[in-house]
Amino acid sequence: MAGLEGMEQPRQRAVTPPARCGAPPAEAEAVPEEFARWGDPTAGEVRLPSRPESAGSARRLTEAVAQRLWQLSPELTEYAVLLVSELVGNAVRHTGARSVGLRMHRRRGWIRVEVRDPSRGLPCLMPVREMDTTGRGLYLVNKLSDRWGVDLLPRGKTTWFEMRVTER
């Protein structure tokens, strides 16, 4: 439209179709329920309280995005869910933060998941032995992701991982 270049256009509200009889309610409502509670990690950073149960919330958000919004393979979804759980668990356990941030991005051929916390202490990839019962989080991130790293911020850090995806 003439004269509207550079102007943000109003977004139309999505209309949710009525639920069909026989559809499993948990699956049908999983995305709206998690997004309603925490927000959409693909639209902006979602803040989760720094409590052990937040790893479960991060897993459910990641699964909802990976499987239902991005339609990733079950294996890639499983890996992303596991890795986000490890990063959120590390942030909760080791940083003393009040909350942690979760954000998810997708670009052609890649997904990126970021967990932000206010600590500038760097995570450490430790050697893992067969009988170890803890300390496997970053080992798993290193093994299952294609890339991972830490970005230091003026107040804290973002720990992230990226995984290749095949476009359907």
User: What pLDDT digit, counting tens, does each position of 113-151 carry?
Assistant: 999 999 999 988 888 777 766 667 898 999 999 999 999
Could you tell me if residue 104 is inside a domain?
A: yes
Could you tell me if residue 114 is inside a domain?
A: yes
What lies within 8 Å, CB to CB, of 140 at 6+ separation is 82, 83, 86
Q: What tens digit of pLDDT does each residue of 27-59 get?
A: 444 566 888 899 999 999 999 999 999 999 999
Could you tell me if residue 75 is inside a domain?
A: yes
Which residues span the domain enclosing 55?
26-122+134-164
User: Above 80 in pLDDT, residue 15?
Assistant: no
Instruction: Tell me how far CA of residue 69 lies from CA of 17, 64, 120, 131, in angstroms.
Output: 16, 7, 32, 38
CATH number for 91: 3.30.565.10
pLDDT of residue 25: 42
- Burial class of residue 106, CB neighbours in 10 A (0-12, 13-18, 19+): middle
Could you tell me if residue 129 is inside a domain?
A: no
Could you tell me if residue 7 is inside a domain?
A: no
Could you tell me if residue 16 is inside a domain?
A: no
Q: Residue 101 in 3-state DSSP?
A: strand
What is the number of structural domains in the chain? 1
Could you tell me if residue 60 is inside a domain?
A: yes
* Token pair recorded at residue 49: 């309280």
